Amino acid sequence: MKQVTKRMLWVLVVTLMAGGIGYWWTSQKQEKISSPDGGDLKKGSARKILYYRNSMGLPDTSPVPKKDLMGMDYVAVYEGEDTQPNGHSIKISIEKVQKLGVKTEQVAMRVLDKTVRTFGRVEANERKLYTIAPKFEGWIEKLHVNTTGELVAKGQALFDVYSPELVSAQREYHIATQGVVSLKDADDRTQQSMQALAEASLLRLKNWDISDEEVKRLTQSETPQRTLTFRAPVSGIVLEKKAVQGMRFMPGEMLYQIADLATVWVIADVFEQDIALVKTGAKAKVKVTAYPNTLLEGEITYVYPTLNSATRTVPVRLEISNPKGLLKPAMFAEVEIPVADKKKVLTVPTSAVLDSGTRQIVLVQVAEGRFGVRTVTLGMRSDSTVEIRDGVAEGERVVVSANFLIDAESNLKAALGGLGHSEH
């Protein structure tokens, strides 16, 4: 019995000694940490924690350990892992970079070239609109132009009118001219008075906007003419015709409206965000649906000072030469306005920007397989590039292809890392 007890005591002593030796050996191993270059770092030289970042990739950091609203631990960022001033870095193997098809492009100074594309409608040039509205009362005896849309030439007869006022004015003129002839032997004062009466009668005819040709015909006739022919003041298209044969018209009533369509207007609706780029005098290209293979060129002559609150657009007026008459009022037109800023600005390709709605970021290539996340401030945009006002520097390389895949994978890794952070 004593021998069994003695043997058990020896076994216990040996076990305790083995455990103590194992504990000492393990503690010595834990005091040494392997360095990247193969050397040993002491316990006091372990990597320093810079801060803790959100495990879901949100732009939120903390100097001390904390949890987010979902109860997930923030991920520790060690010294040397984050070299970016406003974001964390993403590590992806070179093989994975090649599989994702990642492409980068350099941040550079460029002139922003952009084409503002919009739609418009063809309208008659308001400066080339002419209204036929007699200044006296009368009746239309005969219509020479009886259809809307008819092409008329300058001086072409439009209609014949009868007016008692016109006949009375002719009689006054003839009486005055006959009096001048009969009083040629009278004193100077009487002759001057009769001559003034004749000139007043002639001026009355001219003030009614009667053409010089018609005035000459009326004054040369020995007897007053019953009717007067109104002629087209310009060559153009009859846009509106209210004259009807036999109708009575009052002074100032519009009977015809003629438009000279040698030049027309295109009223284009430019969106609010692009209106600052549109300048008076700039050239624009116009295409209409009726002639899809014909490209016309016009000039911006006016930017209207009003905004359509329903469409958030500003009307812009273009003047276009139309010698062949291809453009007709109310036609639908496609308008392209090339715009460019004269100075160079810092730009990146549009595809490099990831927009979350609340902030815009780009992925900057720090090294092979390492990408830094930068929050940027955007400026003007062109068709393929966007101005960067803050966040990156000239010469840095940004990811322009598969950047959303990198961002998605980094967020996934951060989420998985956050789930296992407390256990680790």
DSSP for 102-137 reads -EEEE-EEE--EEEEEEEEEEEE-GGGEEEE--SS-
Instruction: Report the number of distinct structural domains present in the chain.
Output: 3
Residues 94 and 108 in one domain: yes
Per residue of the chain (424 residues), give pLDDT as tens: 555 565 666 655 556 565 555 555 555 544 443 333 444 444 444 677 877 877 665 656 777 888 877 777 887 877 655 444 444 567 777 777 777 778 888 888 888 778 889 999 999 999 999 999 998 899 999 999 999 989 999 989 999 999 888 888 878 777 777 776 677 667 777 767 777 777 777 787 778 877 777 777 777 777 778 888 888 988 899 999 999 999 999 999 999 999 999 999 999 999 998 888 898 999 999 999 889 888 999 999 999 999 999 999 999 999 999 988 889 888 999 999 988 766 788 888 888 888 877 788 888 888 777 778 888 888 888 778 888 988 888 888 888 887 666 666 565 455 444 444 433 3
Q: Does 54 fall in a domain? A: no
Three-point CA angle 417, 404, 399, nearest 5°:
110
**177 in helix, strand or coil?**
helix
Residues 348 and 402 in one domain: yes
Query: Can you give the residue range of the structural domain that contains 316?
Result: 115-125+261-340
Residues 184 and 332 in one domain: no
Residues with Cβ within 8 Å of 424's Cβ and at least 6 positions away in sequence, in order, are none
Instruction: Tell me the two tokens of residue 271.
Output: 């969106």
Q: Does 40 fall in a domain? A: no
Distance of alpha carbon 125 from alpha carbon 264, whole angstroms: 5
CB contact at 8 A, 237 and 329: no
Residues 283 and 362 in one domain: no
Residues 266 and 234 in one domain: no
Torsion of CA 127, 130, 135, 140, to 10 degrees: -170
Distance of alpha carbon 283 from alpha carbon 292, whole angstroms: 19
Q: Does 7 fall in a domain? A: no
- pLDDT at residue 43, as a whole number: 44
Residue 358, amino acid: T
Residues 146 and 228 in one domain: yes
Residues 173 and 282 in one domain: no
Q: Does 21 fall in a domain? A: no
- pLDDT at residue 384, as a whole number: 82
Residues 144 and 242 in one domain: yes
- pLDDT at residue 314, as a whole number: 95
- pLDDT at residue 187, as a whole number: 73
Instruction: Tell me the two tokens of residue 110.
Output: 């460029």
CB contact at 8 A, 362 and 107: no
Residues with Cβ within 8 Å of 370's Cβ and at least 6 positions away in sequence, in order, are 89, 90, 91, 92
Closest C-alpha to 62, from 47, 73, 46: 73
- pLDDT at residue 80, as a whole number: 57
Q: Which CATH number belongs to the domain containing residue 267 in this structure? A: 2.40.30.170
Residues 180 and 239 in one domain: yes
- pLDDT at residue 18, as a whole number: 58
Residues with Cβ within 8 Å of 106's Cβ and at least 6 positions away in sequence, in order, are 395, 396, 397, 398
Distance of alpha carbon 37 from alpha carbon 34, whole angstroms: 8
Q: Does 229 fall in a domain? A: yes
User: Which DSSP letter does residue 18 get?
Assistant: H
| Boundary of a domain, candidates 225, 253, 281 | 253
Distance of alpha carbon 370 from alpha carbon 364, whole angstroms: 9
Residues 189 and 215 in one domain: yes
Q: Which CATH number belongs to the domain containing residue 360 in this structure? A: 2.40.420.20
Q: Does 24 fall in a domain? A: no
Q: Does 369 fall in a domain? A: yes
- pLDDT at residue 248, as a whole number: 94
| Boundary of a domain, candidates 224, 253, 282 | 253
Residues 248 and 163 in one domain: yes
Residues 157 and 221 in one domain: yes
Q: Does 96 fall in a domain? A: yes
| Boundary of a domain, candidates 253, 272, 290 | 253
Distance of alpha carbon 25 from alpha carbon 117, whole angstroms: 76
β pairing state of 108-110 and 32-34 = unpaired
**Among the residues of 183-327, which ranges form H helices?**
188-207, 212-220
Farthest-apart Cα atoms in the chain, separation: 182
Three-point CA angle 379, 383, 385, nearest 5°:
50
Closest C-alpha to 421, from 35, 53, 80, 45: 53
Q: What does pTM read for this prediction?
A: 0.58
